[in-house]
Structure formats: C-alpha cells, structure tokens
Structure 1
Amino acid sequence: MPIELPFDDEEASTSVDLKTQIVRFILTGALSAVFDFGLTVFLQDVVGAPFPVAKGAGFILGTTIAYLINRRWTFRAEASKARFAAVIALYVVTFFINVGLYDRLMQQWETGLLYTALAFCIAQGVATVVNFVVQRAVIFKIR
C-alpha cells in the first residue's frame, strides 16, 4: 500500500496506516525540531541561559507545535479532553527524558555547535521514540 500524504482538512479519523503515520510523524518532528533547536541555541548561546532552561524552553515550543500538527494530520484525531490530559502526562515524562539527557551530555562534553547538535539529536531521538510509541499505542486511541 503506498504512503498517502494528503494535505486536506477531511473529517478526522484514526484510520491512517502505520507507514503514513511514521512519515507524517517524522516530517512533523523535523519541523518542530527546527524551532526547538533554534530556540535552544538562541537561549543558550546568545542569552546565556543554562542548558536545562534553554532546552526546556525549546522542548516546550517544539512539542506544542508537534502536538497541534500530529493530532490533526498525523493521527487525524478529534479534540478530546481525556486525550489532551494524556498528552500532557506524556510530555511531562518526555520533557524530563529529553532535557535530562541533553543536560547530562552537555555537562560532559565541550561546548560548541557540533556538540550541542549531537546532544540535541541524541536527546530528541530517545524522546521521539518514546513519544511516538505512546501516542500511537495509547493516546490517539483515546476517545
């Protein structure tokens, strides 16, 4: 079955196949990561914010963008108070995974854009896998 990538505003449903969800999740994640990384680097290198503060702010911006796009496009799910509460709980967990891992790596490595990007990618990668699995298996099955 080919991967379909419609950019329409059809009635939301959870009938999107796994391959399509993965592609959409990756595209959404890439866009969100640009905002997350940009704000993280700006706050860390320009403003001088501590690593966890800079990454925390970037994470909040990136995950907000990702949730809004994933809910409607990736998983085609209707708005739900129960789902929103579950997303908040998941994002709290992935926040600590992401920010904690990033901070630990940045504390151990030299500063510089290469190490910042590497720490960002590792922390983001781990949190993204957890995020996708829980969103697909649990959150977007909630009515």
Structure 2
Amino acid sequence: MAELPAPVELPLTERSSPMALHTQLVRFVLVGALSAVVDFGLLVALMAAGLGHTPAKALSFVAGTTTAYLVNRRWTFRAEPSRRRFTAVVVLYAVTFALQVGLFSLLFGRLVDAGLGRLAVQVVAFVIAQGVATTVNFVVQRAVIFRLR
C-alpha cells in the first residue's frame, strides 16, 4: 500500500513548552470561529448558487476543516509536520465529516418540515452540527493527535 504524501507545510523554527489547556482552548475557539466563517460563508454561497444542502455542506466542511487544521497545527498546538499526525487528522476529519454533514442534513430536513425559514434552518443546523464536531475535534486533537510524533 502506498504511503500518504506528507502535507505541504513549513516546519516550526522553535519548540516551546506545552501550552496550558486554557490557552489552547482559547486559540482553538478563535481558529474555530475563523474556520466557521469559511465553512458557513461557502455553504451559503454554494446553496445560493443552486447546489443542494448536502453537497454544499460537504464542500464547505472540507474548506473549513482544512483551514482549521493548518492554523491549529502551527498556532494552537505548535506541532511539527508529521505523516503520522496528518494520517490521524485525515481519519478524525472523516469521522467528523460524517458526523457534521449527517447531523446538518438530518436537522435541515426536520427544521424545514417544522416550518422554519431557509436561512434560520441553515444557521440553526450549522451551529448545532458545528458545535458537536468542534467538541469532538478538540478532545481528540489535544488528547491524541498532537501528541503523536
């Protein structure tokens, strides 16, 4: 089986002691907010262009999580590039992709059926799905992925 290619990333030039949980959590939330803007902005734009809610959410998720990984690896967790870590992130993002897109699609259908307006449905379904995925991501990244070498 062929190895996954290493991600194209610049190495860190300095290693510091591990950051406190509070600092990592604050940074993770800030990066998450930036990534959510990328994700939600693309979601709304793709749906406005006529793409269905599930494929639009799938594409926006990829853009948002790619942004999150690249910034979190360097700024939040201060981790060097690693094939092993990259592979673990791909697996984690596959799980959170299924979780987030599935939850968004389920909520979208139910909220539309409940009579909420389209934008309200997008916002509510997005926030709930994003919140669940963000929690899973932080716990797994801090406890497992960014401890890998």
Give your verdict on TM over 0.5.
yes
Find the residue that maps to 2:106 and give its secondary structure: helix
Q: Which ranges of 4 or more aligned residues in structure 1 deviate by more than 6 Å?
A: none
Structure-1 separation of matches of 2:111 and 2:67 = 29
Task: Provide TM-score, normalisation by structure 2.
Answer: 0.86
Change beyond 3 A, Cα 1:109–1:14: farther
Find the residue that maps to 1:79 and give its secondary structure: coil
- Unpaired runs of 5+ residues, structure 2, are 1-11
1:9-88 correspondence runs (5 A): 11-13=14-16, 15-44=18-47, 46-88=48-90
Deviations 1:39-61 (A, max 9, x none): 001111x2111111011111000
Deviation at 1:12, TM superposition (A): 3.9
Aligned-residue CA RMSD in angstroms?
Answer: 1.3
Deviations 1:79-103 (A, max 9, x none): 0000000000000000000000000
Aligned-residue sequence identity (percent) comes to 57
Structure-2 separation of matches of 1:38 and 1:14 = 36
- Unpaired runs of 5+ residues, structure 1, are 1-8
Corresponding residue for 1:135?
141
Q: How many residues align?
A: 134
Q: 2:101 aligns with which of 99, 102, 125?
A: 99
Q: Match for 2:42: what amino acid?
A: L
